[in-house]
């Protein structure tokens, strides 16, 4: 089975309580951990598209990553906009976590499914979009291409993104153009919380199946994406 849940916002230090964002977030870590343990089996794959830990440094994030590492299943982790601890792939791999694969300009094969992705960025029609955002946006497009180019032949392709690959009017943006041209079947994204859920786009769009998997959008329960 392939499951997904994003925006765990774990905080081993307990210095960043998420309940300031609403009652729904009270004890959210315990909800995620309990649902995970009750649902996920060792042979399952879990896709985690960003905002994993509030830690600022890798040595502190390691404490949250170790908690995830100890949970059942193989995990694919990608960078979100709040993962300030994220560093080079070599440093991440040097953590020697037994069940975590870091998705960063690379790809992962699970049975006959290929996993690719990149963080993404705010859409170009966002009123706050700047020239600096343009550079980041283009860099993220290239990273998605690099991830796709690294993938061998598979029966299906799943693309992970942190930011939704849609414009403010909910129309597909350039990330989806790349997915279409590369034969992506499923796209998983997060980032949206609370009132932001109104921007969640799901279902089959231009031949790609979309899932919003922000943890609060899922009531902190991993979502089944594909039954293999």
- Residues 180, 114: Cα–Cα separation, whole Å: 15
pLDDT at 27: 83
End-to-end alpha-carbon separation of the chain, Å? 6
- Residues 209, 158: Cα–Cα separation, whole Å: 9
- Residues 61, 77: Cα–Cα separation, whole Å: 13
* Beta sheet of 223-226, edge-to-edge order: 100-102, 74-78, 45-49, 2-4, 223-226
pLDDT at 17: 66
- What angle is formed at CA 37 by the lines to CA 110 and CA 204, rounded to 5 degrees? 50
Look-up: residue for tokens 């291409």? 145
CB-based burial of residue 41 (10 Å sphere; 0-12 exposed, 13-18 middle, 19+ buried)? exposed
Is CATH 3.40.718.10 the right assignment for the domain spanning 2-226?
no
Is pTM beyond 0.85? Reply is: yes
Alpha carbon of 25 to those of 7, 56, 100: distances in Å? Answer: 12, 21, 25
pLDDT at 20: 63
pLDDT in tens, the chain (228 residues): 999 999 999 997 776 667 666 778 888 899 999 999 999 999 999 999 999 999 999 999 999 999 999 999 999 999 999 999 999 999 999 999 999 999 999 999 999 999 999 999 999 999 999 999 999 999 999 999 999 999 988 999 999 999 999 999 999 999 999 999 999 999 999 999 888 899 999 999 999 999 999 999 999 999 999 988
pLDDT at 172: 95
Alpha carbon 198 to its chain centroid, in Å, reads: 19
Cβ neighbour number for residue 194 with a 10 Å cutoff: 13
Alpha carbon of 155 to those of 74, 151, 173: distances in Å? Answer: 20, 11, 25
3-state DSSP of 124-185: CCCCCCCHHHHHHHHHHHHHHHHHHHCCCCCCEEEEEECCCCECCCCCECHHHHHHHHCCCC
């Amino acid at each position: 089975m392939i499951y997904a849940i994003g925006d765990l916002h774990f905080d081993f230090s307990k210095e960043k309580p998420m309940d300031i964002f609403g009652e729904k977030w009270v004890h959210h870590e315990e909800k995620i951990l309990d649902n995970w343990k009750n649902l996920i089996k060792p042979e399952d794959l879990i896709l985690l598209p960003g905002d994993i830990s509030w830690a600022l440094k890798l040595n502190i994030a390691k404490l949250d990553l170790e908690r995830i590492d100890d949970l059942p299943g193989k995990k694919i982790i990608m960078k979100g906009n709040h993962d300030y601890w994220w560093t080079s792939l070599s440093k991440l791999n040097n953590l020697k976590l037994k069940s975590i694969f870091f998705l960063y300009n690379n790809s992962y094969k699970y049975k006959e499914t290929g996993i690719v992705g990149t963080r993404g960025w705010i859409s170009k029609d966002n009123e706050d979009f700047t020239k600096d955002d343009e550079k980041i946006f283009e860099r993220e497009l290239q990273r998605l291409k690099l991830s796709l180019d690294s993938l061998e032949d598979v029966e299906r392709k799943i693309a992970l993104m942190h930011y939704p690959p849609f414009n403010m009017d909910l129309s597909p943006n350039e990330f989806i153009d790349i997915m279409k041209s590369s034969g992506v079947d499923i796209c998983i994204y997060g980032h949206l919380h609370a009132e932001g859920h109104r921007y969640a786009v799901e279902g089959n769009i231009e031949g790609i199946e979309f899932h919003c998997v922000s943890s609060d959008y899922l009531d902190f329960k991993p979502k089944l994406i594909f039954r293999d």
